[in-house]
Amino acid sequence: MTAGIANLNGGDDSASFNTLGRGEYIKALEFGYRDRIVNPQSDNYHIFLWQRDARKELNFPSDYGYSFVLQKNFANHFIPFIKANFNSGKVKEIKQLYTSGFGYHYPFNGKFGLIGFATGYAVLSGNNWGTK
């Protein structure tokens, strides 16, 4: 499980510690399971949640979203997966994103490597935020 918070007011050349009091942050929480230590090719199940505060100085509203990934290994070689992202808010350009595909570990009888195929479908939010 992982949690994080980041200040939205950082500049190119500063850590923005002087702007922490504005209360404009990105907050994220991720939890899931993957046993990389015992079995590097293990199944992968994750859920990621995020929320961004409104940026009053830039007149941006708040946003939030979540995504999940489900990956199942068969015989430590064939790895189909699906991933879905859902975003809400007026600033997000992509409202939904779905990705699916498969990977194959150790192609051509090798000892390392991964080859695969994936495809995706996106639903755009249809807003013109930030465009002129």
pTM: 0.67
Q: Which residue in 63, 54, 57 sits closest to 87, CA to CA?
A: 63
Contacts 24+ apart (CB under 8 A), 105-111: 105/41, 105/76, 105/77, 105/79, 106/77
Cα 90 to the center of its chain, rounded Å? 18
SS3 state of residue 56? helix
Condensed to tens digits (0 to 9), the pLDDT of residues 4-55 reads 877 766 655 555 555 555 567 788 888 888 766 666 566 788 899 988 888 7
Condensed to tens digits (0 to 9), the pLDDT of residues 96-107 reads 999 999 988 888
SS3 state of residue 23? coil
